[in-house]
Structure 1
Amino acid sequence: MKLKNAILLLLTAAIWGVAFVAQSVGMDYIGPLTFNCVRSLMGGAALLPLIWFLNKNQDSSRVIAGNRKVLITGGICCGVALCLASNVQQFGIQYTTVGKAGFITACYIIIVPILGLFLKKKCSPVIIASVFLSVIGLYLLCMSKDVMEVNRGDLLMLICALLFAIHILVIDFFAPVVGGMKMSCIQLFVSGILSGIAMLIWETPNISQILIAWMPLLYAGILSCGVAYTLQIVGQRGMNPAIASLILSLESCISVLAGWAILGQRLSLKEIFGCILMFAAIILAQIPVGQKSREKAADG
Structure 2
Amino acid sequence: MKKRYINNLILLIIALIWGAAFVAQSAGMDYIGPFTFNSTRSILGGIVLIPVIYVLDKKRKDEISQGKEVIQNKKTLIIGGICCGFFLMLGSSLQQIGIQYTTAGKAGFITALYILIVPILGLAVGKKAGIKVWIGVVLAVIGMYFLCMTSGLSIAKGDFYILLGSVAFSFHILVIDHFSPKADGVKMSCIQFFVCGILCMIPTILFEHPELYSILQAWKPIAYAGILSCGVGYTLQIVAQKNTDPTVASLLLSLESVFSVLAGWVILGETLSPRELFGCALVFAAVILAQLPERRPNLSYRDLQREESRPHHSTL
If the TM-score is normalised by the length of the shorter chain, which range does it land in?
over 0.9
Query: Are 1:282 and 2:282 matched, yes or no?
Result: no
Matches within 5 A, 1:118-197: 118-145=124-151, 148-197=153-202
Matching residue of 1:51: 53
* Superposed displacement of residue 291, structure 1: 1.4
Could you give the per-residue CA deviations for residues 110-132 of structure 1, whole angstroms, max 9, x where no partner exists? Answer: 00000000000011101000001
Matching residue of 1:34: 36
Distance 1:282 1:90 in 2: 26
Counterpart residue type for residue 186 of structure 1: I
Matching residue of 1:4: 6
Distance 2:54 2:208 in 1: 34
Q: Find 1:16's aligned residue among 12, 15, 18.
A: 18
* Superposed displacement of residue 66, structure 1: 4.1
Listed as ranges, the gaps of 5+ residues in structure 1 are none
Compared CA separation, residues 293 and 82, structure 1 to 2 (3 A): farther
Runs of 4+, deviation exceeding 2 Å: 59-66, 292-295
Distance 2:298 2:264 in 1: 43
Query: Are 1:61 and 2:64 matched, yes or no?
Result: yes
Counterpart residue type for residue 69 of structure 1: K
Percent of aligned pairs sharing the same letter: 55
Matches within 5 A, 1:222-241: 222-241=227-246
Distance 2:174 2:74 in 1: 20
Matching residue of 1:87: 93
Matching residue of 2:310: none
Counterpart residue type for residue 61 of structure 1: I
Give the aligned CA root-mean-square deviation in angstroms. 1.8
* Superposed displacement of residue 283, structure 1: 0.8
Distance 2:70 2:160 in 1: 41
Could you give the per-residue CA deviations for residues 193-248 of structure 1, whole angstroms, max 9, x where no partner exists? Answer: 00011110111111101101111110000000000001100111121100000000
Equivalent pairs, count: 298
* Superposed displacement of residue 13, structure 1: 0.5
Counterpart residue type for residue 49 of structure 1: P
* TM norm structure 2: 0.91
Distance 1:109 1:136 in 2: 11
Compared CA separation, residues 54 and 28, structure 1 to 2 (3 A): same
* TM norm structure 1: 0.96
Distance 1:81 1:293 in 2: 42
Compared CA separation, residues 17 and 66, structure 1 to 2 (3 A): same
Could you give the per-residue CA deviations for residues 232-265 of structure 1, whole angstroms, max 9, x where no partner exists? Answer: 0011112110000000000000000111122221
* Superposed displacement of residue 149, structure 1: 2.8
Listed as ranges, the gaps of 5+ residues in structure 2 are 305-316
Distance 1:123 1:133 in 2: 15
Could you give the per-residue CA deviations for residues 249-295 of structure 1, whole angstroms, max 9, x where no partner exists? Answer: 00000000111122221111111111111111111111111614968
Compared CA separation, residues 48 and 294, structure 1 to 2 (3 A): farther
